[in-house]
Amino acid sequence: MRSCVALILSCAACGGGDPPATDAPASHDAADPDAAPDAATTERLTIPFAARVNGAPFACGQTYAGVGSTAAAYTAIDFRFFVHDVTLVTADGDVPLTLDVDAFQTADGIALLDFENGGTGCQMGTVATHPALTGTVPIGTVFTGMRLTIGIPFAKNHLDATLALPPLNVPAMFWAWSSGYKFIKADGVANGSGFSLHVGSTGCSATGSMAPAQPCTSPNTIPVTLTGLTPTSTIVADVGRLLTDVDITTNTMDTAPGCMSFPGDPECNTVMPKLALPYGAFPAEPQQRFLSIE
């Protein structure tokens, strides 16, 4: 399953009448916090994403050859991740993308990219997918790149998921009060055993059902800058690039299956640095390898 539609820009003022409720803008006019942006000054923007495993389109139940350091067979069962603070890079500075508010995007700029469809081979999935960011920008915005942060900001990362609004109410994407949400959830099976990549905050001081009062020692949010964005680009998320140097067919005893971000897990030694995150004695690589433009 893959969405590779082109980036679409269309003038919101040209449609005539009011936009449908599902296209309501995600933030408000700076002059009046209770007023929606003027449609005559904004235009629609869709930024498509495509999920892949070593370059091949992701699909639940699909088996991919040559994954990891031992070139193993990997059967995918889930692929989702959160982003926030999405801006476009222009010659005059960054321009925020005001996200639509829907089941996958919040009014404060958090979005869940969801590529599994809950079908055969999916684990804890949902029928609905969300392979694109949608929103508005000022009319005439000419962009050459995009910035975003993978993950959820601390202030929203430790909510009560049973009371939170979509998409922060998705059980499969929530860890616990202390850790918060799974920023990236890419699960698969190799050699009969599960290999899960779950990226989220660690080193969070929380007691019982109380959220942490102080930021976590390893927030593990990932700032990303992508250059060369055009109106026909697609953002590619490839989990295979992160697994290149780890043996996905084995797991260290007494550790979580795969890499789940927690300290002292050898399966994370080469994975987290490829997300430009330091991990124990292993320094972050200069650039993340997860997202790219094509």
Q: Answer whether residue 79 shows pLDDT above 50.
A: yes
Convert the pLDDT of each residue in 149-177 to its tens digit. Answer: 999 999 999 988 889 999 999 999 998 87
Tokens found for residue 165: 């609004």
Q: Answer whether residue 102 shows pLDDT above 80.
A: yes
206 CB burial (10 A radius; 0-12, 13-18, 19+)? middle
SS3 (DSSP) at 145: strand
pLDDT given at position 24: 35
Q: Answer whether residue 90 shows pLDDT above 80.
A: yes
Angle at CA of residue 291, ends 288 and 294, nearest 5°: 130
Convert the pLDDT of each residue in 193-215 to its tens digit. Answer: 999 999 999 999 876 667 788 88
Please tell me the distance from the alpha carbon of residue 167 to that of residue 16, in angstroms, as a whole number: 30
Quick count: other Cβ atoms within 10 Å of Cβ 35? 10
Question: What is the pLDDT averaged over residues 280-291?
Answer: 97
CA-based torsion, 86, 88, 94, 96: positive or negative: negative
Which residue, among 257, 267, 268, has the nearest Cα to 218 in the 3D structure? 268
pLDDT given at position 176: 83
pLDDT given at position 173: 96
pLDDT given at position 1: 41
pLDDT given at position 40: 85
Range ranked top by mean pLDDT from 5-9, 31-35, 74-78: 74-78
Convert the pLDDT of each residue in 213-244 to its tens digit. Answer: 888 999 999 999 999 999 999 999 999 999 99
pLDDT given at position 37: 56
pLDDT given at position 183: 98
Question: What is the pLDDT averaged over residues 186-190?
Answer: 97
pLDDT given at position 177: 77
Cβ proximity of 288 and 224 under 8 Å? yes
Question: What is the pLDDT averaged over residues 84-95?
Answer: 97
pLDDT given at position 247: 97
Least confident range from 123-127, 242-246, 284-288: namely 123-127
SS3 (DSSP) at 40: helix
Average pLDDT over the chain reads 88
Confidence of residue 246 (pLDDT cuts 50, 70, 90): very high
CA-based torsion, 220, 221, 223, 228: positive or negative: positive
